[in-house]
Amino acid sequence: MKLDVRSVRMLLPENVQPLFDDIVEQRVLGASNHISMIGDMIESIALDGKKNNSEIKEIVDRIQAVTNYFIKTRGEASQAISNAILLMTQNLEGLLDYNLDDAVDEMINSKNNYLDYNSIATEKVIEYASCVVENMRNIFVYDYSSTVDKLLKKIGGNEQKYTIYIPESRIIDGGLPYVKSCKGAQHNIKFFPDAALMYYLKECDVALMGAETYFPDGTGFNTTGSDLVGLVCDYYKIPLYFLTPLIKLDIRPIYGYKKELVINDLETKLTKEWQDKSLAENINFKAPELLGVEPKHIKGFVTEKGIIPAEQMFNVSLDYYKELGGAI
C-alpha cells in the first residue's frame, strides 16, 4: 500500500487521526510518546475492525500500512520506533486463521505487553538516573525526551533545589515542553538559545539527553546540536549521560549498516518571521534531524540494566538483542 500521508491517515478511525497529526506535524515530541500513540492507533484499528465485522486480513493490512508508514518516516530517524512497532505487531500474520474476537484480543494484548514491558524499563531508567543527579544542583538538558522529562518531574518538590538549564533548539523547539514540566516541579529554570550552550554548560554539573537511537559501539543519536553538546561537555569535563531504555538499540551497524541521516527542510520554520517571503527563493534550508554523539564524549548510558559506560555498551547491546530473540 502506498505510503502517502493522506491515504495512510484515512486508514485510521477518526478518534485517533489527531494522534497521527500530532506525530507528523511534530506537535508532540519524544520517541516514547510516539510509540505509545502508535499503540493507540493499533488498538483503535483493531476495535474498529471488530465493530464493523471486518475480515481479519483487512484489519492486519490496515495496521501494517499505518505502522509501516511510521517505520519509513519516524523510524528512519529513531530506531526505537521501528523496534517497538516490530515487537507490537510481530504476530499479526499468525492471526489470520483465528476467529475475529480472539484475533482482535491478541492484537491488543501484543501491543499492551510491549507497552507494559517498556514502562517498567523506563521506570528503572528513571530510578538509576535519580541516583546520577542526586548530588547535582545544575542540570543541563538537550533536547526534548519524555524519559528525561519524567526524571525532572520525579526530582521536583524536594528540599534540594535544582536549576535546570534548557537551551531552545530551533530544529524542533524542544525546550518548551521541559519548561512546562519544570515549572510544575518547582525547579529554577534558565532558558536560552542553543547558540549559547557553550557559555552556559560550564556552569552545569551534568548534562542529560534522551536517545532517539544508539549504536552498540556507544554512539548516541539525538536532535541536531547534540554533537556540539558532546564536544563542549568533553571540553569542560562535564559528564554527559544518555537516558534510554535498551529498546532504542540499532543493532544493524555490526552487520555493516551505515546510518542514513534524515534531512528536513526547515524553510517554513526558519522563515516564519520573515516579512518578505521572496527572500527565501533559491536558498537551501535543509538540515539533518538527528546527529550522533561519539562515545568518547559520553560518560554513560542510563538504562534499565544500570549505568553503563559508553565503551561497554557493545556487549550489553548484544546480550539485549539475544534476550529479544533477534526480534528487532
Integer-rounded Cα radius of gyration of the chain = 21
The model's pTM is 0.83
Q: Give the mean model confidence (pLDDT) for residues 301-321.
A: 96
Query: Considering only the top CATH level, what class is 5-121?
Result: mainly alpha
Query: Per mean pLDDT, which range of 1-5, 82-86, 132-136, 320-324 is the poorest?
Result: 1-5
Residue 3 binned pLDDT confidence (cut-offs 50, 70, 90): low
324 Cβ neighbours under 8 A, 6+ residues apart: 87
CATH superfamily of 123-323: Translation initiation factor eif-2b; domain 2 (3.40.50.10470)
Yes or no: say if 223 and 290 are a contact pair by the CB < 8 Å rule.
yes
pLDDT attached to residue 64? 96
Sole residue written with cell 534548557: 166
63 Cβ neighbours under 8 A, 6+ residues apart: 42, 45, 46, 89, 92, 107
Yes or no: say if 148 and 302 are a contact pair by the CB < 8 Å rule.
no
Question: Hey, where are the domains in the chain?
Answer: 5-121, 123-323
Task: Please say if the pLDDT value at position 1 is more than 60.
Answer: no
Tens digits of per-residue pLDDT, 154-177? 999 777 789 999 998 777 777 888
Task: Please say if the pLDDT value at position 116 is more than 60.
Answer: yes
Sole residue written with cell 541521516: 261
Higher model confidence: residue 57 or residue 322?
57
Q: Give the mean model confidence (pLDDT) for residues 66-91.
A: 89
Which among 253, 176, 181 has a CA at the least distance from the CA of 213? 253
3-state secondary structure of 142: coil
Burial (Cβ within 10 Å: 0-12, 13-18, ≥19) of residue 47: middle
Cell numbers linked to 293: 554523539
CA-CA-CA-CA torsion for 271, 274, 278, 281, nearest 10 degrees? -30
pLDDT attached to residue 249? 93
Give me the amino acid identity at 93: E
Task: Please say if the pLDDT value at position 2 is more than 60.
Answer: no
